[in-house]
């Protein structure tokens, strides 16, 4: 990354490019310094309700394998399925995002072609005696906001709202998803497209 800063004199970024609703993407803006969400991309799974909002961070893979997280499930042994860090809330809980035309039993559609499951039964629905079928990803924890909290953070310039994108949620290069979105949005944010995923590399 060069020593020069982001372009000056650019018009302000339009942070609401999609509705605050289930299926939209919540993208951390560079001003967001909370370590739980720096350079994070969140798939909103619930928003606008009286209870607040809930989502899954989709771009933070971890070294943990699903078979290690659920050692009692012999069906998973021998399968290399990395667990992602879905957010700072209830990190002892595993949630699943599955890519399918129709949600399986125990799953709820959160985006066209993507469904969320949060129980061990849902995990078993995604598997057969031959191993895991279909495309899905497990996540430890989730991101949560109280009533009005997320709206306030968006208004303060912490988040960018974009339309949902199935291919992005299941990207083969999750560590560069945030940078790819900065380049896609362009304008003053394009400067950050070259920022390394790990700031210690800079």
The reply to whether 4 falls in a domain is no
Task: State the number of CA atoms in the 13 A half-sphere of 183 facing the CB.
Answer: 8
The reply to whether 72 falls in a domain is yes
The reply to whether 106 falls in a domain is yes
| pLDDT band with cut points at 50, 70 and 90 for residue 5 | low
The reply to whether 195 falls in a domain is no
Position with higher pLDDT, 151 vs 5: 151
Q: Report residue 137: phi and psi, to 5°.
A: -135, 135
pLDDT of res. 193: 93
**Would you say residue 43 has pLDDT above 70?**
yes
**For the chain, what percent of residues have pLDDT higher than 70?**
85
Q: Are 23 and 88 in contact (CB under 8 A)?
A: no
pLDDT of res. 198: 61
Q: How many domains does the chain have?
A: 1
The reply to whether 170 falls in a domain is yes
- Domain of 42 in residue numbering reads as 25-186
The reply to whether 71 falls in a domain is yes
What's the CATH number where 113 sits? 3.40.1740.10
The reply to whether 55 falls in a domain is yes
Q: Which of 121, 92, 122, 120 is nearest to 108 (CA)?
A: 122
The reply to whether 147 falls in a domain is yes
pTM of the model: 0.88
Average pLDDT over residues 1-30: 73
How far apart CA 33 and CA 183 sit, in angstroms, is 20
- Taking only the tens place, the pLDDT of each residue in 70-103 is 888 777 777 788 999 999 999 999 999 988 888 7
Q: Which long-range contacts (CB under 8 A, 24 or more apart) does 128-135 make?
A: 129/75, 131/75, 131/78, 131/79, 132/76, 132/79, 132/81, 134/98, 134/99, 134/100, 135/98, 135/99, 135/100, 135/170
């Amino acid at each position: 990354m060069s020593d020069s800063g982001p372009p000056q004199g650019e018009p302000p970024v339009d942070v609401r490019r999609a509705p605050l609703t289930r299926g939209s993407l919540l993208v951390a803006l560079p001003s967001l310094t909370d370590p739980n969400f720096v350079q994070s991309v969140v798939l909103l799974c619930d928003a606008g309700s009286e209870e607040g909002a809930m989502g899954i961070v989709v771009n933070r893979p971890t070294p943990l394998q699903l078979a290690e997280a659920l050692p009692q499930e012999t069906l998973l042994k021998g399968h290399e399925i990395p667990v992602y860090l879905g957010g700072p809330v209830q990190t002892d809980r595993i949630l699943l995002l599955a890519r399918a035309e129709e949600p399986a039993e125990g799953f709820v559609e959160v985006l066209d072609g993507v469904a969320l499951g949060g129980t061990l039964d849902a995990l078993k629905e995604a598997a057969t005696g031959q191993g895991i079928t279909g495309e899905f990803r497990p996540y430890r924890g989730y991101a949560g906001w109280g009533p009005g909290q997320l709206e306030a953070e968006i208004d303060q310039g912490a988040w960018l709202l974009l339309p949902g994108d199935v291919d992005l949620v299941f990207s083969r290069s999750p560590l560069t998803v945030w940078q790819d979105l900065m380049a896609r949005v362009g304008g003053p944010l394009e400067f950050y497209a070259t920022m390394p995923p790990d700031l210690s590399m800079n």
